[in-house]
Amino acid sequence: MKIVDLKATIVERITIIRIDTDEGIYGYGEAHCPKHHVLDLKPFIIGQDPTNVERVMLRIRHRGAFKPWGAGVSAVEMALWDIAGKAAGLPVHRLIGGKVRDRVRVYCDCGSGVPLDPQDPSSAYSPEAYAEKARRRRRLPEGFTILKFDIGFHGRQLLSVPGGVYDALDSYPTRGHVTERGLKAEIEIVKALKEVLGDEIGLALDCGPGQSLPAAISLAKALEPFNLLWAEDLLTGDYTPFTDSEAYRLLSMSTSTPILTGEQIYLRHGFRSLIEKNAVDIVAPDICDVGGLAEAKWIAEFADLYGILIAPHNFGLPIAFMANVHAAAAMPMNFIAFEHHMADVPWWEDLVKGIEKPIIKDGFAKVPETPGLGIELEEKVVRKHLAEGETYFE
């Protein structure tokens, strides 16, 4: 079998790709980058046998880097596994070790609070605004068992507190040192969230891309009584083109609040010092940035040797979602849950067919047994959501 084409199109703002072969089998991937980043890889994969996934990856892996530059490589990787699975008549999880679990826990990204005063955007950052969002998210039909909220510099919460920071840019991404007033505002939000969620729903916080080390330590220690599932990107993360594993080690050593990072990192090599130093408690590679689904599975295995957990980051359409399901199905018992960022997108699930719906039920996604990633695009719906000027892989 040979690769004959790589095509890309844009659904709303997300690039999706299709790799075609001379045997009529094709594979889908999701590229969280401009189209041309992934189309640039085409000359290096044409004529290759897509079922030798690793051999093809060796031709393109060096063309990726920290987020967003690893996105094209990652998209090709998941499309290759989709093809390899279809060619073998096996689900992707069977090609990367087989499933450990029949269903995979999914957590829900919640952002900030509900803007209680539509005229005032800062009204989304009061403790009551967060509590109201938590109440609404608890009622979602997906039945999520873990919710994640943005505080600190993520979602601009700290910037909404007058005198909350010593110095910061007025735009995302920014970092900085936090005042006592800023720290108290963060703590009040967590208190309000816990009053709604109790110990029935796990609470995680996204604080990326970071605060000063002393501010991060103060926050993590102050939040210890709330038994968070994790505090994410307290020092670096998101669009940070490096990882400060030494500072993360100091932070993790100073607190019992579990510390997580990793969504910006490319390849297992990027996680090496974080894992070998036990600099974090949980790693969060994004399959769409780290180099693909098998790469994430390798990182899970490596982290497990050090007692580190894994909760993959994910911001994607159902293609990336299913790549996560297959990878997570095959991960060791250090897997917690992967992220769903599209709870507010009503047409999200309609983009695909060939899979049992609802895709998320009781907070879990079922691991499919159909070949490849186990989804086919619903052309009619995809066409409806194509970005202006885009065509359906024509």
68, 111, 202, 208: residue in contact with Mg ion (rule CB under 5 A)? 208
> Could you give the CA distance from residue 334 to residue 245 in angstroms, rounded to a whole number?
20
**CB within 8 Å of 54: residues ≥ 6 apart:** none
Query: Residue 26: left if φ>0, alpha if ψ -120 to 50, beta else—which one?
Result: beta
Interface segment toward Mg ion; rule CB under 5 A; list 199-207, 219-227, 264-272, 294-302: 199-207
Minimum distance from residue 260 beta carbon to Mg ion (Å): 9
Q: Closest CB to Mg ion among 284 and 377?
A: 284
Dist CA 83 CA 99 (whole Å)? 19
Tokens of 105: 């826990």
Residues contacting Mg ion: total by CB under 5 A:
2
- Binding of Mg ion at residue 312 (CB under 5 A)? no
Output the smallest distance, CB 263 to Mg ion, in A.
Answer: 5
The nearer residue to Mg ion, 85 or 208, going by C-beta atoms, is 208
Stretch that binds Mg ion, among 88-96, 129-137, 200-208, 272-280 (CB under 5 A): 200-208
Query: How far is Cα 131 from Cα 140, in angstroms, rounded to an integer?
Result: 15
Counting contacts by CB under 5 A, is residue 339 touching Mg ion?
A: no
Q: Does 20 engage in binding with Mg ion (CB under 5 A)?
A: no
Write down the least CB distance from residue 80 to Mg ion, Å. Answer: 27
Do residues 53 and 85 lie in contact, with contact meaning Cβ atoms separated by under 8 Å? no
Q: To the nearest whole angstrom, how small is the minimum distance from the Cβ of residue 110 to Mg ion?
A: 12
Does the footprint of Mg ion cover residue 68 (CB under 5 A)?
no
Contact status: 206 vs Mg ion (CB under 5 A): yes
Question: Segment near Mg ion (CB under 5 A), from 5-13, 62-70, 198-206, 340-348?
Answer: 198-206
Minimum separation from the CB atom of position 238 to Mg ion (A): 6
29 binds Mg ion (CB under 5 A): no
Nearer to Mg ion, 3 or 223 (CB): 223
Cα–Cα distance between 389 and 375 in angstroms, integer?
A: 25
**Least distance in angstroms from the C-beta of 233 to Mg ion:** 5
Three-state secondary structure of 333-351: CCECCEEECCCCCCCCHHH
Q: Which of 61, 79, 65, 2 is nearest to 33 (CA)?
A: 65
Contact between 209 and Mg ion by CB under 5 A: the answer reads: no
The DSSP call for residue 63 is G
Q: Which residues contact 148 (CB under 8 A, 6 or more apart)?
A: 107, 108, 109, 110, 203, 204, 205, 206, 232, 339
Q: Which is nearer to Mg ion, 21 or 157 (CB)?
A: 157
Tell me which residue has its CB nearest to Mg ion: 206
Query: How far is Cα 193 from Cα 360, in angstroms, rounded to an integer?
Result: 23
Q: How far is the CB of 273 from Mg ion (least distance, A)?
A: 20
- 132 is an interface residue for Mg ion by CB under 5 A: no
**109 lies in the binding site for Mg ion (CB under 5 A):** no
Bridge partners of residue 358, in order along the sequence: none
Contact residues toward Mg ion (CB under 5 A) are 206, 208
